[in-house]
Amino acid sequence: MDRNYGRIWMRVLAAVLVVKFAVSVAVVLNLRPTGLIEGLATAAPANSTTPFSGQDSGDDKECHPELLRLLRLKMARLDQREARLDQREQDLQLLKKDIEEKVKQLKDLQRKLEGPVKKQRLKEGARLQHLAGVYSSMDPVRAAVLLEKLDEDTVTRLFAIMKSKKVAKILANMSPEKAARISARLYGKNEDQ
């Protein structure tokens, strides 16, 4: 029987030590009383100033109203700032959607315009190719007389398509000034390519 009392006594001592340790940890961590610890806190002496005693120190009572007022003011400012930021975020989302819609519209318009522009370029290229063929088949003297009357940009584009031997014969029959300018443009055009 003495052994049983010894075991019971050891278990009670271990439980007391565990409870004391839990209360100490709660005090150090400034935890609020809950469950078993709350029951232990009510058993604490009345003059205790632990967080579990339910009593405030005198310094806290003087500081609390001003501190609470400042905290409420700060919270109100933070709430206003958060509301403004939320509104800005909503505005930015609307702007983003608007910009995305306009970009989509521009891309659609670009696709619609690319078709006719491409067709126009193909037609213009075919006409230029045909005209180059016409001037290539002409007598160089007659071609030079006609090409002298065209603007230099058109002549340069025609010469860029024609064979070099034919261009040389036509240039030889043009005025030296115009032939020099067209030659310079052809040289510049060939460098770009």
Can you tell me the distance from the alpha carbon of 170 to that of 118, in angstroms, rounded to the nearest whole number? 31
Q: Is 71 exposed, middle or buried (CB count within 10 Å of its CB: 0-12, 13-18, 19+)?
A: exposed
Single-letter code of the amino acid located at 143: A
Note the pLDDT tens digit of each residue in 102-120: 999 999 999 888 888 888 8
Query: Is residue 4 predicted with pLDDT exceeding 90?
Result: no
Single-letter code of the amino acid located at 83: A
DSSP-H helix ranges across 30-57: 35-42
Domain residue extents for the chain: 1-55, 56-123, 138-192
Note the pLDDT tens digit of each residue in 56-101: 444 444 457 777 888 888 889 999 999 999 999 999 999 999 999 9
Q: Model pTM?
A: 0.41
